[in-house]
Structure 1
Amino acid sequence: MPITLHNPENVFPPYRNYSHAVEVKGDSQILFISGLNGYEHDGQTMPESFEEQGELIWKHIGSILSSAGLTYQHIVSIRTYLADPSFDEVNVKLRMKYLGNHRPSLTVICCQLLEKKWKLEVEVIAAR
């Protein structure tokens, strides 16, 4: 079964030994996208607001999906980590903006993230 790593140039560079996504192809295609945070393209700069970080994350997800020939409509599962439960309403609005009526499985977890400046982290599984 072929495995392809996806690290598109228009997403910030992966750090600490991981890939942004790993694709598995057989009779079907499955793409596992690592937890993404709101870094700008340079991999250093990050906006302060939850909304701006969330927008960047969803754009990064779109770029990675596209690199595998997939779209947001191919997402089958989302796991979102929020730094604070007060971010949930904005998180839902962002998800609805990018997914529309598409309804993949979903888990939202509130926890302390690795870096204090991170407001959220999102990981995705897509398939076709």
Structure 2
Amino acid sequence: MSIIKHNPSTIFPQYKNYSHAIETTSGSRHLFISGLNGYELDGHSMPESFWEQGVLIWKHLGEILKSAGMTYSNLVSVRTYLSSPQYDRENIELRKKFLGDHQPALTVICCQLLETKWKLEVEAVAAE
């Protein structure tokens, strides 16, 4: 089995001891994508609104998938962490916008996130 790190320069820099995604290969490929947040490319600034953070996160997710030669249709599992249940409706709309008819396994959790400015965080698994 080989392990390939995916840290595309087209999204914010990864943290220490962290990769944005890890791909494993052995007959089939699996890509494990770390929790993503709505940081801009500079890794410091972030929009205030839930919607804008969510759009950035889903674009970051798309960039990571692209770096592995995959698309949103390769997602097999998506876990979303919301800072408040008030964002559930917008979260559903974000998924529709980026996933279309694709239906991966899905979990939504409401919890306190690491940074108070984060409105959501998304992690995923893709495969082919």
Question: With structure 1 as the length reference, what TM-score do the two structures score?
Answer: 0.99
Instruction: Give the match for residue 42 of structure 2.
Output: 42
Secondary structure, in 3 states, of the residue corresponding to 1:15? coil
Alignment of 1:1-128 (within 5 A): 1-128=1-128
**Unaligned regions of 5+ residues in structure 2, if any?**
none
Deviations 1:34-70 (CA, angstroms, capped at 9, x unpaired): 0000000000000000000000000000000000000
Supply the AA of the counterpart residue of 1:3: I
Once the two structures are TM-superposed, the CA of residue 4 in structure 1 deviates from its matched residue by 0.2
**Unaligned regions of 5+ residues in structure 1, if any?**
none
Once the two structures are TM-superposed, the CA of residue 16 in structure 1 deviates from its matched residue by 3.0
Supply the AA of the counterpart residue of 1:58: W
Secondary structure, in 3 states, of the residue corresponding to 2:76? strand
Q: Which runs of 4+ in 1 moved over 6 A?
A: none
Supply the AA of the counterpart residue of 1:106: L
Distance between the aligned counterparts of 1:23 and 1:100, measured in 2?
24
Distance between the aligned counterparts of 1:78 and 1:28, measured in 2?
19
Once the two structures are TM-superposed, the CA of residue 122 in structure 1 deviates from its matched residue by 0.1
Supply the AA of the counterpart residue of 1:110: C
Distance between the aligned counterparts of 2:26 and 2:62, measured in 1?
23
**Aligned length, in residue pairs:** 128
Question: With structure 2 as the length reference, what TM-score do the two structures score?
Answer: 0.99
Deviations 1:57-85 (CA, angstroms, capped at 9, x unpaired): 00000000000000000000000000000
Identity over aligned residues, as a percent? 65
Q: RMSD in angstroms over aligned alpha carbons? A: 0.4
